[in-house]
Structure 1
Amino acid sequence: MQSEQLFSVSFTPMAGTYLLLYTTEGAGILKTPEIPGGIALSQNSVLLWDCQKPFALTTSMVPWNFFLFFLKGEQMEIYVEIGKSKREYSHDLSQYSPLHQHFRSLLGIPERYSFSDALKMNQLLTNILTDISLPLVPKENTRDANIPSYLYELKDRLDHHFAESFSLAQYEEQFSINKYRICRDFSRYFHSSPLAYLTQVRLNKAKEMLLTTDLNIYEISSYVGYENVNHFISLFRKYNGTTPNAFKQKALGNQSVPHSPEE
């Protein structure tokens, strides 16, 4: 739906129905008596809402481009309750989130869909709902008490800030531990050196992006932390036995893949 002018539309209660709203441009607000001030719906955000009580959608920045999906099903209650427990109803997506591609694929399914389209639709919706809900689920403490806490801190840093520049000297200063000991201890407990572990994290993320986004090799290389695209391609081939383009082409069933510097 596209709104070039300010508007407000109200919805009556719809028991057993849930709203999934994806904003691609502009901004709006979901207004409900339950939440003073409402819920802000900004560009590149996803809202999941239980429609059992009345609510209204109001434009706050034009043009407001968004897509509405009204969903039903017992499993929907699980996803909604996760958001309610954290009071997280709207979820901001990064520019490179694979959910953008999921939504594009979902919107590409024809109104008169086949059985295979229905299966694809179910898969895409499950992926979307799981991806926005999983970060809100408390993580179980599975840490081994024998592993020094600083190593978990380093591993967490590599897992979630993989695009940042890496330097053992930086962690030597941060933890006040000799960098050679850091490398030795990390390898002992995680069976890989810090740099090798980081490389694998980056390449796994690159593979995910190759299959779920339309970004080119340059953009993916930069996103995962490699400004030198040739170095990225060389590492990808070393760890995966093929180039990024060949990997994508094979995984997508030999579909046409845009030209990249590896060709």
Structure 2
Amino acid sequence: MNEFVPFNYELDLSPNSVWIKAIPTPSTKDRFVYLQECGEFYSNSRHFTRRKGGLQSYLLEYTLAGEGVLEYEGQVYSLKAGDFFWIDCVQPQYYYTNPKVGSWHTIWAHFYGGNSEYYYEQFVALNNGKHKATLDNSVSINSLIQELIRIYDNNEVNTADIIFSSGILTMIMAECINALNNKKLSEQMPQCIKDAIHYISENHTENITLELLAKRYSINKYHFQKLFKRYTNYTPNQFLIMTRLNAAKELLRTTSKNISEISYEVGIQSVNHFINLFKRQEGLTPQTFRNMWYNNQG
């Protein structure tokens, strides 16, 4: 990593540890998820890294054996075999071998760019704001990072290698998110949440409030909102807005109704508010969306 960010560390490592540093070009940084560093560390009892933050990098570190500790955003995480952490190094961080255990075998990668920010946000959202998770299958992550080490251990990295390694990094991020998603899906969604999803979908044109939903299911409104977000990743209001905007997109694509008519039809009474919501979700105005759709028709 080219930028200097103040940090303290002690590399108390066994000789068989591997540390690879990539040197991404400006064009690589502009176009891809790119590797900054990666490695496999056999850390001993004094090994630690304490960084004050400010580094534009994501760090994903997977524990193969032994035990480490991560202190991040006010939380302390114990990291045993099968656990991994994924952090944004813009924030201060401190991670180290658990001195009571005395060893920590990890495989890790620093990376940035491309759509890595989106993947990271999804990981944190699915993980309820936490930065540690567990992977049942270590083989996949281990083998993928080992492949990165193999590629960058060769000094003659070419464009094809860079593209391939970007794909590997994306696969690693997807593996981590998929593990969380599978865990969440394995939990039984309460019937009230299933019913609320159906109710909002079928009645999104109505004035649906958190109070109305809480009363409908005889649940405290704050508890209901927390429960709904746990299983859908959205608050009830966010889900309602998304449902309305999806209905609006369908009307924009399939009818000639004007923007005001569509706004009222999907349940948003203020046209200006509708346009602002649409632009916030889609990144463009309803009219621009309609024009793009029509212009791309064969």
TM bucket by the smaller chain?
0.3 to 0.5
Q: Which of structures 1 and 2 has the bigger CA Rg?
A: 2
TM-score, normalised via structure 1 length: 0.46
Q: TM-score, normalised by structure 2?
A: 0.41
